[in-house]
Amino acid sequence: MVTIKDIAELSGYSIGTVSRVINNHPDVSQKARDKIDQVIREQNFHPNSNARGLKQVLNTSISIIVRGFHNMFFEGLLEQVQADLRENGEEAEVTFLDENADEVQAALEILRVRKPKGFIFLGGNLEYFRAEYPGIDVPSVLLTNTTEELKLPGLSSFTTDDERAAGEVIRYLVRMGHRKIGIIGGSQSRTGSQVGYRRLMGCEKAFQESGIPFDLKKQYEPSLFSMQGGYDAARKLLDKAPDITAIFAIGDTIAIGAMRAIRDQGLCIPEDISIIGYDGIEESRFMIPRLATIRQDTEALAMRAVEDLLFRLNYRHPVRHEYVPFELVEGESVSIMDESPEI
Amino acid sequence: MVTIKDIAELSGYSIGTVSRVINNHPDVSQKARDKIDQVIREQNFHPNSNARGLKQVLNTSISIIVRGFHNMFFEGLLEQVQADLRENGEEAEVTFLDENADEVQAALEILRVRKPKGFIFLGGNLEYFRAEYPGIDVPSVLLTNTTEELKLPGLSSFTTDDERAAGEVIRYLVRMGHRKIGIIGGSQSRTGSQVGYRRLMGCEKAFQESGIPFDLKKQYEPSLFSMQGGYDAARKLLDKAPDITAIFAIGDTIAIGAMRAIRDQGLCIPEDISIIGYDGIEESRFMIPRLATIRQDTEALAMRAVEDLLFRLNYRHPVRHEYVPFELVEGESVSIMDESPEI
DNA sequence: CTGAAAGCGCTTACAG
DNA sequence: CTGAAAGCGCTTACAG
């Protein structure tokens, strides 16, 4: 194996100077830089990352933590994030966690063992961030939730405005003539720490403003962000509220499971029951019928996350908390109710 | 930060002995082991992986390389592999590559930079393995293709018997009365290096044995393993062979795209045209109609890969090349042809 | 601008 | 069974 020592000998400079060239330190003569660069290329030398890490304490990679293996939305988002990172010459390593896992705990463990220089979280529970984030001393970004209120140093966040987008969904369904609307997805707990709660809040607000009654107990069913979760939740919902004409699944993955459940009840989409999802995953465009949904802008989310993180890695810069635009995609899964029953 | 030196001081032993305890070396007294273990726990000490790596040369993690971001089959497989690895106390890091990327090249780069102790490849092109694998000097496993013929030292492989499974698909469709069968998916090149080619071979053989003509030019269309790829390929196929009554998509991801294309032609599944996929991904069970498919045993594939790799990591042991059982799942997307036209 | 040297935290012959 | 010491490949004050 060729080491920095070999490069030093071959170039006629000391290992100190070689190291400075490798790390782009300014105080090196152009002559030395050229010569050393040439030898490095000739020898196809690559610094040993363990040795670097030993001194620099920090590793050179960025750790991406995905919370929820079954949530297909994260797959597309992850792809974007990885592409952006690669484009900027950054290495990334990915860890997948269970949807209910403590992602901050996991990050702390990763920080200890692998010492990434930064984290990007895909999904997160604010409670965990509140409680344990202070232990994380590298710049980080949370995607699909906002930590603005938590005021944690070093943690930026970018997300769709879930409350507003969910409100749009309800208003859209109401415009299409639906009055009995069921909602599935998200966790039972109403602690405000999960995206599910924000989306549900948006719905409730929209119902109120529209003057349409909404009975949470009867018209809502929690669900994991998985197809099977959506399937089970939809069945329960249809059981307890057979009079609903539309379902809002707060994740497309959930919606796909729900569609199958509706079909297994012998009902047709959208003739008998309408459904709309949330996320705008690629699959939604291929469903039969095409799934109506809220398209989150994964490109923008990924780009902001990567830009913000890399920027803060190199410069002292305040964290940011921003919303990214979304779009309601109509698809084919929502029908117009001719008779608006009880209005 | 607490280091091995602190543990040595606190326990009253030398750092050498502490190191031996950490690494489970046999020649340590039980007394020393107990005391040191206790101090380690008290101090919540974790060895610095960079320092370890510097001496041991090899890192402690296993690198998983996924070839094809859009291929949903790999998602489920990856999940299983990661779970099995974790269960055995192994760290894993994942790298996603483009479907046509040179995965061996990527592995060589990863080997240099991160020094994993082993690789698990999800998908692979035999040509790349043939040409460049010798540069990889850590135990590895290839999943979903077989490298038996290549006789590469240190590389095991586990896969479904693609040729046989594809043959079953054709025989099944023929049993259901189909005679004009289209096939989509896989790469144009017939080099024998990709799974697509093996599956296609299995089909051709089955056609021959059944005495059913098959015109590759007209009845086959290549496709990337993505939904969009399947969509485009199905359209082309339906254009050039409008008389087919069934389509075999050699990946479920492709099949889902194809279903949408069929629908966009105004055709119904399975009344107008039948479709069957390959892989048995979770999505296939939720499609409307449920997708007929070959279920690959991801659990078995993952388990064999992890067991074989970990075993060979610790013991000198020959590589293995095995087939894992598969199962034809009938679903709802294949119809019985009442009149078998021209037999 | 450059070199000599200390030191990062660990492992592992070597000697006893 | 244990300790003292060399050394892994690099970075970074320090001195010039």
Q: What is the pLDDT of residue A343?
A: 44
Q: Which residue is nearest to nucleotide C3 (CA to C1')?
A: A14
Largest CA distance in chain B: 89
CB-based burial label for A77 (10 Å; 0-12, 13-18, 19+): buried
Residue B56 has pLDDT above 80, yes or no: no
CB-CB under 8 Å, B259 with A286: yes
Residue B304 in this model has a pLDDT that exceeds 60? yes
Mean pLDDT to the nearest integer, A265-270: 96
Does an H or E element contain B174, and which? helix B162-175
Which residue ranges have CB below 7 A from strand D?
Answer: A 1, 3-5, 15-16, 19-20, 22-23, 45, 47-48, 51-52, 54-56; B 12-17, 20, 26-29, 31-32, 51, 54-55
- B162-296: CATH class: alpha beta
pLDDT at B190: 59
pLDDT of B189 over the 70 cut: no
Whether A89 has a pLDDT exceeding 90, the answer reads: no
> Taking 80 as the threshold, does the pLDDT of residue A147 lie above it?
yes
Pick from A79, A113, A257: which is nearest to B49 by CB?
A113
pLDDT over 90 at B88, yes or no: no
In this model, does residue A237 exceed pLDDT 70? yes
Contact partners, residue A239, CB within 8 Å, separation at least 6: none
* pLDDT for B343 beyond 50: no
Nearest-angstrom CA–CA distance, A62 and A57 = 14
Say whether pLDDT at B266 is over 80.
yes
Q: What would the pLDDT profile of A194-223 be if each residue is shown by its tens digit?
A: 788 899 999 999 999 999 999 999 999 999
CATH 3.30.365.10 at A61-160+297-325, yes or no: no
Q: Tell which of B84, B94, B98, B109 to mutate to test the A interface (max A CBs under 10 Å).
A: B94
Give A-chain residues touching B113 at CB under 8 angstroms.
46, 49, 91
Determine if strand C comes within 7 Å of the CB of B51: yes
Query: What single string gives the DSSP state of each residue in A126-189?
Result: HHHHHHHGGG--S-EEEESS--GGGT-TTEEEEEE-HHHHHHHHHHHHHHTT--SEEEE-B-S-
Mean pLDDT of chain A: 90
Q: How far is the CA of B32 from the C1' of D16 (A)?
A: 49
**Predicted confidence band at A108 (pLDDT cuts at 50, 70, 90)?**
confident
Cβ of B260 under 8 Å from any chain A Cβ? yes
Nearest protein residue to nucleotide C11 (CA to C1' distance) is: B55
Asked if B62 and B118 count as a contact pair (C-beta separation under 8 A), the reply is: yes
Distance B112 CA to C2 C1' (A): 30
Nearest chain A Cα to B80, which residue? A69
Residue with tokens 């095991």: B156
Cβ–Cβ < 8 Å for A255, A231: no
- Answer whether B289's CB lies under 8 Å from B331's CB: yes
List, in sequence order, every beta strand (DSSP E) within A222-311. 246-249, 274-276, 293-296
Structural domain boundaries in chain A: 61-160+297-325, 162-296
- Residue B63: closest CA among chain A residues belongs to which residue? A93
Average pLDDT, chain B: 90
Q: Does the beta-carbon distance from A260 to B288 stay under 8 Å? A: yes
| pLDDT given at position B61 | 77
Model confidence band, residue B272 (pLDDT cutoffs 50, 70, 90): very high
